[in-house]
Chains A and B, each alone.
Chain A
Amino acid sequence: MRRFGLRAIAVFYLLTVLLGPLSMVFYRAFKSGLHPLWTSLSDPNTIHAFKLTLEITAIAVPVNTVFGIICALAIVRRRFPGAGIVNAIVDLPLALSPVVVGLMLFLLYGRTGWFGSFFQDHGIQILFATPAMVIATIFVSLPFVAREVVPTLRELGDEQEQAAHTLGASGWQTFWRVTLPSIRWAVVYGVVLTTARCLGEYGAVAVVSGHIEGKTETATLRVQDYYENFNQTGSYGIAIVLAAISVIVLLAMTIIRPKEAT
């Protein structure tokens, strides 16, 4: 009886908070038929928004993957003074509001900001253009690879690496042949999380984008744009495309997770 009670609570919780609302989005998107949905999705500005989101993700994910691996190696293998601080700073984006991140970039690259006049004099547009949106996205998705790799590296220990080293392997060879294969799944899992975060970023990007249709509007900003301009079908339409991508990411997560455990 008790078990049934707990089960009921858990199911009810998930239904009210998660599954119920989600199913409504699908209903709303398809409610007025396929045609308006298709018109909204095939709008050139919408297509551009998806492309921009993918471009930003394609820059931010590799940057954070390389950084995450190097950072994790530095934290775990080189017990340098201040490793704790580095660890904390890497985690900061997890705990910090994306709006605050956007504000920081605003204060750095705005016309009256620290570097604003420098970049303006050189004719380089950072704020209200792709560069600021990329920087914002890199910031918010910074921790994921490092956080996945650090514990794996810890558990792994460095005996194999030491062995490779004694056998005459260079640092680089050791990394490619010994370290990377063993942290492979942690890296992949981290990459999946990073990708999800990049695709869905809203707060930081909203502050620095300038909302120029067909230029600096990402998919998530487009959802809001459509919603505000009386096009609910379009809004829900982009939402389900993004939701579909999330489900794919989710599948990737579920498939990878058990492998990581072994």
Chain B
Amino acid sequence: MGFVTTFLSIVVLLPIAALVWTSGKHGWHEFWTVVSAPEAVAALKLTLGAAVIVSALNAVLGTITAWVLVRDDFAGTRLMNAVIDLPFALPTVVGGLTLLALYGPSSPLGVNIAFTRTAIVLALLFETLPFVVRTVQPVLHELDRESEEAARSLGAGEVRVFRSIVLPNILPGILSGVALAFARAVGEIGSIVLISGNLPFKTEVAAVFVFNHIQSGDQNGASAVAVVMLLISFLLLLVIGGVRYLTTRHERRA
């Protein structure tokens, strides 16, 4: 017990304390001035915007992919299932480099999206691919198909079946997957740094903002934006915790 607390204190809490202290040492007013500076606001807006788009795409495409993996059976499903985790196992810089290879300036497809916001969204999609798929897949797998059959035999259409029977069951999975993907998208740097161009006000995400401002010696600016990112992380953990709590309560009642 003591070990866990001590270890967490040294490795996690102490650094957080240093960050919060640095960002706050000049007072609330100074913190607010730094965070509300146009460049910081632009970076945070872009980051949150991209994270929302990526989360939404993940919710839809991730669920479809999970569905195909569980309910469909064709030659490719096993391969698909195996490669889903690849973005997790692959170093993020390599992820960015792979996208640059196909969608960069010397793209064989003739599509050059390097240094645009589209590139950021694509990189984030790459990195967050596994989250929703992997949280929805097990729930779909265990889902009792009899009630679906029953609904169908009563004349419900596919859309209706999905909406009233499947979706309520997989929704918690989708939500926690989306929250994880969102968190990841907010903090991502490795896959973005080579492909985004890092142009302030246009393609500079929050993590890159922090990185650039550490480099230029502006510890206040870096710390202030970092604290905002820290708050977002805590918030998302709360959401994930809440979803987990709700689902287990559901189980306990059943």
Contact = CB atoms under 8 A, between A and B. Distances in A.
Is chain B in direct contact with chain A in the complex (CB below 8 A)? yes
Interface of A: 2-3, 6-7, 9-11, 13-14, 17-22, 24-25, 27-28, 67, 70-71, 74, 78, 80, 84, 86-108, 113-114, 135, 138-139, 142, 193, 196, 199-203, 206-207, 219-220, 223-224, 227, 235-236, 239, 242-243, 246-247, 249-250, 253-254
A-B pairs, top 10 by smallest CB distance, nearest first, are A97-B187, A200-B91, A104-B15, A202-B190, A95-B183, A246-B89, A24-B101, A21-B98, A95-B233, A10-B68
A254 to B, nearest CB: 6
Report whether over half of chain A's contact residues are helix, strand or loop; otherwise say mixed.
helix
Interface string B115-155: 00000001001100100000000000000000000000000
B19 interface: yes
Contacts of B14: 108
B229 A100 contact: yes
Contacts of B193: 224
A67 B6 CA distance: 11
Contacts of A105: 15
B1 interface: yes
B1 A13 contact: no
Contacts of B187: 95-100, 203
Contact of A95 (B5, B11, B210, B236): B236
B182 to A, nearest CB: 9
B201 interface: no
B230 A139 contact: no
Contacts of B82: 250, 254
Nearest to B14: A108
A152 to B, nearest CB: 14
5 contacts: A18-B86, A223-B97, A235-B97, A242-B91, A243-B90
Interface in B179-224: 180, 183-184, 186-190, 193-194, 206-208, 210-211, 214, 219, 222-223
B27 interface: no
B56 interface: no
Given A9-B64, A92-B12, A104-B19, A203 B190 contact: yes
B246 interface: no
Nearest to A219: B91
Contacts of B210: 97, 99-100, 103
B126 A17 contact: yes
B156 interface: no
Nearest to B248: A154
Given A142-B12, A202-B92, A250-B85, 20 more contacts: A10-B61, A11-B76, A11-B80, A21-B98, A67-B7, A80-B1, A84-B241, A87-B241, A92-B237, A95-B180, A95-B184, A95-B234, A98-B190, A99-B187, A102-B214, A113-B18, A223-B93, A227-B97, A239-B94, A254-B82
A24 B64 CA distance: 26
Interface of B: 1, 3-5, 7-8, 11-16, 18-19, 22, 61, 64-65, 67-69, 71-72, 74, 76, 80-94, 97-99, 101-103, 108, 122, 125-126, 129, 158, 180, 183-184, 186-190, 193-194, 206-208, 210-211, 214, 219, 222-223, 226, 229-230, 233-234, 236-237, 240-241
A14 B80 contact: yes
A22 B98 contact: yes
A35 B98 CA distance: 22
Contacts of B97: 25, 223, 227, 235-236, 239
Contacts of A236: 97, 101
A206 B211 contact: yes
Contacts of B102: 20-21, 24
Nearest to B76: A11
A93 B234 CA distance: 10
Contacts of B129: 14, 17-18
Given A103-B223, A108-B15, A249 B89 contact: yes
Nearest to A29: B101
A24 B88 contact: no
Nearest to B19: A104
